[in-house]
Amino acid sequence: MTHPILSQIALAYCPVIDRARTVTATRVTVFPLNPELQLDGQQLLAALAEAWPVGGGPLWMRVAQERLLASVMEAQPNSHIALEVPAFMAMQPRYAEGLSTLHANGNTLLLTGKPLSELPRALLPAFSQAIIDFADDHRVDESSGGAGSGHSSNPRQIGFVQSGVRSVADMETSFRRGANAVLGWPIDDAIKVGNKPADQPALQVIVQLIDQLHRQDEIEALEATLKRDPPLAYKLMRYINSPAFGLSVEISSFRHAIMILGYQRLKRWLALLLATASKDPNMRPVMFAAVRRGLLMEELAKLSGNDEMRNELFICGVFSLLDRMFQQPFADLLKTIPVPEHVYQALVEHDGPHAPYFRLVEAIEGQSAFDIRDAADALMITFNDINTCLLRAMANAAQLD
């Protein structure tokens, strides 16, 4: 199904991460490309339903235009969709009935921005959380003796979600402040060479398998390596048999997988397995990002019709955060993990034919409409194609989670 609205907006996304460091929802930001156009909220909801259908994962929506957000509210989104509502809109009487209806229908409403005065008392129960940007939050850490004075002067204190989180340190600080969840990408921590993740042996099993596939070792040697970690073998079989893989026959064993897929196609799924193998809770957002980067870059590559490029961009995306997981610079890490030359150029040298795709994905994660537009122009890809690829990647990622 085609959705004309996808050519009129830019989409960005980030995870919603709870105190257990689990990704509980996806937050999508919608930027109208032309502020003069009147866009249809029902069309937007229909487009997003491709990736977040009723019964699927929860979706948080941030709509960066008052008129479009008002249209979305009028369209009565399904209850698995949470809406971020700016305080200035919550203060306006013309929106009060619609907000109350959404609350009664079971939609989660999230207050953004600081109200200039108290919200109407009738609306207070409608908002379950306030969203506060990390840089604007000056409350005291709970560990220091208090949770601060709250987000507004309303008599009813509500919980809060911290946005703008960019590192594990930011995430830890937000939870000490009392945040119920964080929004953002806690993946910008500096690489501290010498730190090894606790599950390094499991990661090394996958690295060895990738190397063996690269050398085209005998199947018996590959099976012997995989038997060292049965949980990894189970996870690999689950990935290969997922709807996202699209096979018409069920794979029953690792040997069967090699026979059906061949070494090159199997290598890409080992790459995905490597990017999601960490047992460190703080790595869950990193793994969430890696899977979606790989699937999105693969979808973008499909536009070219080049299968080799498609495989390389997939690996480029899922490998793009391995330096965080292994705590090693890519220049050192990729000495032990064989990758195509163009993938090496993108990850180590930030150059080569794959680098513009990587910059587009980073711009989408960065949630800057200007950066997304700039990266799209560099690739000469339409927003209809970019957004369609993004929604397909999100749908495929949900089948793997």
Q: What is the CATH number of the domain that holds 116?
A: 3.20.20.450
Structural domain includes residue 274: yes
Structure tokens at 209: 């398998």
Domain contains 194: no
Q: Tell me: do 153 and 242 sit in the same domain.
A: no
Asked if residue 17 lies in contact with residue 186, where contact means CB atoms within 8 angstroms, the answer is yes
CA–CA separation, 228 vs 212, rounded Å?
15
Query: CATH no. for residue 307?
Result: 1.10.3210.10
Count of C-beta atoms within a 10 Å radius of residue 97? 10
3-state secondary structure of 183: strand
Q: Does 205 lie in the same domain as 158? A: no
**Count of structural domains within the chain:** 2
Average pLDDT over residues 75-95: 95
Say whether both 348 and 292 belong to one domain. yes
Task: Assign 201 a pLDDT band (cuts: 50, 70, 90).
Answer: low
**DSSP secondary structure letters along 152-167:** SS-SS--EEEEEEE-S
CA atoms within 13 A on the CB side of 233: 14
Among the residue ranges 8-12, 108-112, 325-329, the one predicted with the least confidence is 325-329
What is the pLDDT at residue 146? 44
Same domain, 244 and 164: no
**The predicted structure's pLDDT at residue 181:** 97
Same domain for 13 and 93? yes
The answer to whether 65 and 84 have CB atoms below 8 angstroms apart is no
Give the residue from 184, 216, 232 where a domain finishes: 184
Together in a domain, 161 and 247: no
Question: Which 3 state secondary structure label does DSSP give 265?
Answer: helix
pLDDT at position 399 over 90: no
Do 10 and 373 form a contact (C-beta atoms < 8 A)?
A: yes
Question: End-to-end distance of the chain based on CA atoms, in angstroms?
Answer: 24
- How confident is the model over 24-45, as a mean pLDDT? 96
Examine the domain organization and report whether 59 and 153 are in the same domain.
yes
The residue from 150, 184, 218 where one domain ends is: 184
Q: Tell me: pLDDT of 364 over 90.
A: yes
Q: What is the pLDDT of residue 154?
A: 46
**87 domain residue, yes or no:** yes
Q: Tell me the whole-structure pTM to 2 decimals.
A: 0.87
Beta strands, E only, 248-293:
none
Q: What angle do CA 71, 73, 79 make, to 5 degrees?
A: 140
Q: What residue type is 144 in one-letter code?
A: S
Residues 331, 206: one domain?
yes
End-of-domain residue from the set 184, 213, 244: 184
Tally Cβ neighbours within 10 Å of residue 384: 16
Q: Is the domain of 129 the same as that of 262?
A: no
DSSP H or E stretch at residue 61: strand 59-63
The answer to the question of residue 193 being in a domain is no
Residue 270 shares a structural domain with residue 383: yes
* 221 shares its domain with 354: yes
What's the pLDDT score for residue 252?
A: 83
Q: Which residue type does 375 have?
A: A
Averaged over 188-202, what is the pLDDT? 63
* Domain annotation covers residue 358: yes
Domain containing 74 equals 4-184
Same domain as 343, residue 300: yes
- What's the pLDDT at 306? 83
